[in-house]
């Protein structure tokens, strides 16, 4: 067990929200075709409100803070918030499209001790990337920004969301990442829009393509090991928690709403009305999420994949039940190992999840390839 894993276990044992994902705005200068957010401002928290929440998070024990959006730099006070967060000794990561980052912004991020900047890149080809972001010149601007950031010595990672429009370009983005000297991550997760509109799920890559991703050595390393059949689950697996959501992780929206995770839209309180620690400790919604063990899952507890599946309770919740299966993850386990999930067998068709375009969730994988 690494030191970090030891501290994560301690945070779990003590009920400490060690990591918080904080979207400071939903406004954005890009209009990505797959984005699930409503970019209008419906009353974002003020600078003072966010500073107060940051103080509450520090008091609650939060160590890892991710600032995201929307595009974080759409807030004119972003650097004021960042400076305040660093004064409170958070380890800060930023998720951004980087279009608004030039040398002065990169320098300021370095001065403030930002731990990592994650930049979204969809393709190495401007015609593909810019068509996804609907912002002409955005690939050029984002790549320039990565150079500004790395020249300062900041750690940058490229996040490549995969969808039908760019599913042949992952190798090109990987090569771009190598050229820039930064790590590369791939994520084919497409989620429904916040208003429930599932039309963007048509952008999900087909299951066969997902299988190709899982069997790509440059992405997963040892393919035989990564795609091995799941071992029989033991008692530790069945008594285990599905993920860190609500255990050591929380999500806060620009309007102050608290959720178990950015991908788990279960409203659990609002920091404009309550202190964060009161929501964290007493929210019935968060406590319900915390109560669920693998043995409690209605279908997945009898599935051979239960110990190795990356089942996302948030995606399961969007499908209808936080204790139920996430068909997107069933699809993932199937295309990784070739073994049908209990949910697929129950439905009588091992491939049905791959064809179901009306499903309320998308495949969820996050693979980080090493820098060559």
Partner 1 sequence: MSEKWVTKYIARSSAIASRMLGGEMMIMSAVDSTFFTLNPVASVVWQAADGCTPLSEIVTRNVCHEFEVDPETAYRDVEQFVEELSSYGILLVSEMPFPASATAPTEAA
The binding site for partner 1 (CB under 8 A) comprises 3-4, 6-7, 10-11, 13-14, 16, 18, 58-59, 61-63, 86-92, 113-116, 155
Task: Give least dist CB 90 to partner 1, A.
Answer: 6
Comparison of 18 and 328: residue with beta carbon closer to partner 1: 18
Task: Give least dist CB 21 to partner 1, A.
Answer: 16
- Cβ-defined contacts of 262-266 (< 8 Å, 24+): 262/21, 262/23, 262/68, 263/189, 263/191, 263/312, 263/314, 263/315, 263/364, 264/289, 264/312, 264/313, 264/314, 264/317, 264/322, 265/194, 265/314, 265/317, 265/318, 266/314, 266/317, 266/322
Task: Give least dist CB 229 to partner 1, A.
Answer: 34
Among 9, 12, 7, smallest CA distance to 290 is for 12
Residues 6+ apart with CB under 8 A from 151: 106
Comparison of 116 and 164: residue with beta carbon closer to partner 1: 116
Comparison of 88 and 339: residue with beta carbon closer to partner 1: 88
Residue 254 has a CB neighbour count (10 Å cut-off) of 21
Task: Give least dist CB 168 to partner 1, A.
Answer: 33
Checking DSSP bridges between strand 91-96 and strand 156-161, what pairing results, if any?
A: unpaired
Residues 6+ apart with CB under 8 A from 56: 271, 275, 276, 277
Comparison of 21 and 335: residue with beta carbon closer to partner 1: 21
Comparison of 19 and 133: residue with beta carbon closer to partner 1: 19
Among 300, 363, 356, smallest CA distance to 328 is for 363
The dihedral region occupied by 137, where left means phi > 0, alpha psi between -120 and 50, and beta the remainder, is: left
Cβ–Cβ < 8 Å for 116, 76: no
Cβ–Cβ < 8 Å for 101, 139: no
Task: Give least dist CB 67 to partner 1, A.
Answer: 14
Task: Give least dist CB 246 to partner 1, A.
Answer: 18
Comparison of 248 and 304: residue with beta carbon closer to partner 1: 248
Comparison of 6 and 197: residue with beta carbon closer to partner 1: 6
Task: Give least dist CB 89 to partner 1, A.
Answer: 5
Task: Give least dist CB 173 to partner 1, A.
Answer: 24
* Integer angstrom CA distances of residue 196 from 41, 112, 116, 256: 18, 38, 32, 20
Comparison of 155 and 178: residue with beta carbon closer to partner 1: 155
């Amino acid at each position: 067990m690494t030191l970090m894993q030891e501290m994560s276990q301690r945070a779990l044992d003590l009920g400490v929200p060690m990591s918080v994902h904080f979207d400071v705005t939903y406004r954005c200068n890009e209009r990505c075709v797959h984005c699930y957010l409503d970019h209008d401002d419906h009353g974002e928290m003020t600078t003072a409100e966010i500073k107060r929440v940051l103080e509450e998070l520090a008091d609650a024990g939060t160590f890892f803070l991710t600032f995201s959006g929307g595009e974080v730099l759409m807030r004119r006070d972003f650097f004021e918030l960042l400076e305040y967060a660093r004064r409170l000794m958070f380890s800060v990561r930023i998720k951004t499209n980087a279009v608004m980052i030039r040398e002065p912004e990169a320098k300021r991020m370095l001065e403030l001790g930002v731990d990592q900047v994650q930049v979204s890149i969809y393709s190495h080809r401007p015609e593909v990337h810019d068509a996804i972001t609907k912002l002409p010149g955005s690939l050029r601007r984002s790549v320039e920004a990565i150079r500004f950031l790395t020249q300062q010595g900041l750690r940058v990672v490229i996040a490549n969301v995969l969808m039908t429009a760019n599913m042949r370009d992952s190798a090109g983005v990987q090569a771009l990442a190598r050229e820039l000297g930064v790590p590369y991550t791939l994520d084919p997760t497409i989620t429904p829009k916040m208003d429930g509109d599932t039309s963007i799920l048509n952008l999900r890559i087909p299951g066969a393509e997902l299988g190709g991703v899982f069997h790509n050595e440059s992405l997963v390393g040892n393919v035989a090991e990564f795609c091995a059949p799941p071992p029989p689950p033991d008692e530790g697996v069945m008594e285990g928690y599905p993920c860190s959501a609500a255990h050591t992780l929380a999500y806060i929206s620009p309007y102050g709403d608290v959720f178990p995770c950015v991908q788990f839209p279960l409203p659990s309180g609002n920091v404009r009305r309550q202190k964060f620690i009161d929501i964290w400790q007493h929210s019935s919604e968060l406590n319900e999420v915390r109560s669920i063990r693998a043995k409690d899952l209605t279908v997945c507890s009898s599935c051979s994949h239960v110990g190795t599946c990356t089942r996302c309770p948030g995606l399961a919740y969007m499908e209808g039940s936080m204790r139920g299966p996430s068909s997107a993850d069933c699809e993932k386990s199937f295309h990784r190992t070739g073994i049908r999930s209990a949910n697929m067998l129950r439905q009588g068709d091992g491939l049905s999840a791959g064809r179901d375009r009306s499903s309320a969730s998308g495949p969820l994988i996050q693979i980080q390839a090493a820098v060559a």
